[in-house]
Amino acid sequence: MLRCTVLANRAFKVSKQYLADINHCLGFATVRRHSVVDRELDGLRL
């Protein structure tokens, strides 16, 4: 029982780290997309 709990906790930590990495990548992607859109809007304003 204890061994299963330890394994489950480890898997949970790994999945949390994995989700954090995905969110990090998604965050960078959205930031990059927004900056490109802002640049295009600046070009239109000029």
Query: pLDDT by residue (tens digit) across 7-32?
Result: 888 888 888 888 888 888 777 767 66
Token pair 């906790």: residue? 9
Amino acid 1: pLDDT: 65
> 34 to each of 18, 26, 40, 44, how far by Cα in Å?
24, 12, 10, 15
Token pair 């490109």: residue? 36
Amino acid 23: pLDDT: 80
Token pair 């029982």: residue? 1
Question: pTM for the complete prediction?
Answer: 0.45
Amino acid 43: pLDDT: 78
Amino acid 7: pLDDT: 85
Query: Burial level of 40, CB count in 10 A (0-12/13-18/19+)?
Result: exposed
